[in-house]
Amino acid sequence: MELLIEKIKNEGCVLSSSILKVDSFLNHQIDPHLMLEIGKEFAERFADSGITKILTIESSGIAPAVMAGLHLQVPVVFARKRKSLTLVNDLITASVHSFTKEETNEISISNKYLSENDKVLIIDDFLANGQAALGLIEIAIKAKASVEGIGIVIEKGFQEGGRILRNKGYRVESLAILNSLENGIVSFEKSTERKAELA
Ligand code: G4P
């Protein structure tokens, strides 16, 4: 996706060989126009999947997920990482360990908002080791909903999340795939750049 790749090239900051900072448009300040285009791209890629609900996780997954929900005309549910005062009963939960942050969160949603009739599209901002996506898949399975696909804004192709999810048979659509962040340089997977050039 050309707009996203340009944004990463212009504004992304390589913090280390494994971490890309994109605070100016995705993780802190949010670029609404870019988010709208990201939502449109996800909606186009999953147009034939019969999606009835989008599932994401707070906080940075929410903006792209809402925009995808807008384009697909379906509701968006976000899993919470912290206990909520009002969300206490009938929770569906999963445990998510972050290797990047070295912490484990119990994530939860209310069982009111996901059912066996739902066809779910999971959306998240980053795919690193795949633990957040696996936690969201676990929640969908517990609700007996079907997972039709996973939409990721930025996949770090040099970490194992994408391989784990694809090996399990899930359709993973990543709008930008990073090959490497070595030597302070962002290198994109060829297919992502080629798609962007053709767009
Ligand atoms: P995983 O789910 O794929 O296993 O990823 P991981 O646990 O490693 O990621 C933990 C958090 O770190 C997630 O955000 C994820 O988006 C973020 N993250 C991982 N790699 C990068 C990176 O290279 N750059 C940036 N900017 N973030 C990265 P989170 O804790 O859920 O934060 P937020 O959603 O509240 O912003």
CATH code for the domain in which residue 80 is found:
3.40.50.2020
pLDDT of residue 25: 98
194 within a domain of the structure (yes/no): no
pLDDT score of 198: 59
- The pLDDT assigned to 88 comes to 76
Q: Is residue 26 part of a domain?
A: no
Mutate to test the pocket of ligand 1, among 24, 59, 98, 174 (most ligand atoms within 8 A of CB): 98
Task: Report the separation in Å between the CA atom of 126 and the middle of ligand 1, taken as the mean of its atom positions.
Answer: 6
Tell me, yes or no, whether 83 lies in a domain: yes
Candidate from 31-45, 104-118, 183-197 with smallest mean pLDDT: 183-197
Q: Report the alpha-carbon distance of residue 96 to residue 113 in Å, rounded.
A: 20
Average pLDDT over the chain, rounded to an integer: 95
Q: Domain containing 112: what range?
A: 32-179
Q: Domain for residue 16, yes or no?
A: no
Number of domains in the chain: 1
Percent composition of the chain: helix, strand, coil (DSSP 3-state, to 5): 35, 30, 30
**CA–CA distances in Å: residue 15 to residues 11, 40, 193:** 12, 29, 22
Q: 92 in a domain, yes or no?
A: yes
3-state class of 136 per DSSP?
helix
Residue 182 has pLDDT above 70, yes or no: yes
What is the mean predicted confidence (pLDDT) over 151-163? 98
- Judge whether 187 lies within some domain: no
- What per-residue string of b and e applies to 147-177 under the rule 16 or more CB within 10 Å gives b? bbbbbbbbbbbbbebbebbeeeebebbbbbb
Residue with tokens 């609900």: 53
Q: What percent of the chain has pLDDT over 90?
A: 88
What are 55-114's pLDDT values in tens digits?
999 999 999 999 999 999 999 999 999 877 777 779 999 999 988 889 999 999 999 999
Is the CB–ligand 1 distance for residue 21 below 6 Å? yes
State which H helix or E strand residue 73 sits in. Answer: none
Instruction: Establish if 71 belongs to a structural domain.
Output: yes
**7 occurs within a structural domain:** no
Distance CA 197, CA 199 (A): 6
